[in-house]
Amino acid sequence: MSEMLDMIRTLGDQIRWARDLEVPDLPANHEILVGGMGGSGIAGDFGAALATGTLGRVAVHKGYSPLPGWAQRVKPTVVAASYSGNTEETLDLVGAAATAGLPIVTVTTGGRLAELSARNAWPTIAVPAGLQPRAAVGYLAGALARLLNTLGVVPDQTAALDEAADLVDAATTEGSETWDMAHGLAQRLVGRITVVYGGGPISSTAAQRWKTQINENAKMPAWWSVLPELDHNEIVGWETLPSMTRESIGVVALTDVADHERVRARLDHTSQLTEFAVPWLGEVSARGESELARLMSLTISGDLVSYMLAGEAGVDPVPVETIEKLKKLLVKD
């Protein structure tokens, strides 16, 4: 159990590493396509959230080739993020990008992706190894934030990285307000499927991160949805099985100051209209001034909740044995 907590507590130092990173000199490009899966791919979602409202576009591709059709037209810089360097979907996408003549940048610890980078002289960021990919979000998302600044998509992130690092360090201190909140929320979620709702670029990206962390760390089912879209479908999905859902599911709402003002109203009304069928067990608000700090504040909260849920369930949060079994089966195909 303590091994995962130790990894979670490295997040501040990971972010500071990204702050001090020497980024490759790259030509400006406001069109970015990030390829990655799982704990590596979430970095692309972080980047897309940071780019909201800018003149650039950060699209995230999670899967195999082909490339999106628009990529042939606008020639995005392809950022391939794979912590291990051996993610088959990402390698497949990189092959398609190379064939199409697109500029490629890699973010990895090594593996096949590092080999391809060296062979093709692609700019690369070598990320420190030794963690579970999902626990390396500070390295991966921090490196991408620096890359996006170099490419001209987002403004300088130095101050934001400093703020984020200090914020997560404080959060992971036992007895902090965030720690106590996570502990209480985890206890309320024990024995339930967690549903995480977000309502804007920051809160929705964090909701996705919460979902995947609960999956991998606590080995529990979870899902995430986004306001206002869920008010056009999911809200009525609670009507038919209330005797089941109110005993087995719990909703957590994530909020951010940048969420649209109408999202706040929708959140309040949605909880009132569905609380007969599903308990709303907590609301977690982003902290910090910069977009990156607010995103990392919600991220660390979810990481702690997932770790504490694992403890409540008596499972080791580190191994992901079913994923490893799947990879071995795919090698045989």
Q: Provide the token pair at 230.
A: 């869920």
- Out of 211, 216, 219, 291, which one is annotated catalytic? 216
Annotated active-site residue 232? The verdict is yes
- Out of 232, 261, 328, 332, which one is annotated catalytic? 232
> Could you write out the DSSP letters of every residue in 85-144?
S--HHHHHHHHHHHHTT--EEEEESSHHHHHHHHHHT--EEE---SS-GGGGHHHHHHHH
- How far, in whole angstroms, is CA 47 from its chain's centroid? 10
Asked if 211 contacts 259 with a C-beta cutoff of 8 angstroms, the reply is: no
Annotated active-site residue 216? The verdict is yes
Dmax over Cα atoms in the chain, in whole Å? 60
**Angle, in degrees to the nearest 10, between helices 158-171 and 291-313:** 30
- Out of 260, 269, 325, 327, which one is annotated catalytic? 327
Annotated active-site residue 327? The verdict is yes
Asked if 104 contacts 147 with a C-beta cutoff of 8 angstroms, the reply is: no
In whole angstroms, what is the distance from residue 122 CA to residue 277 CA?
Answer: 53
Catalytic residues, by residue number, are 216, 232, 327
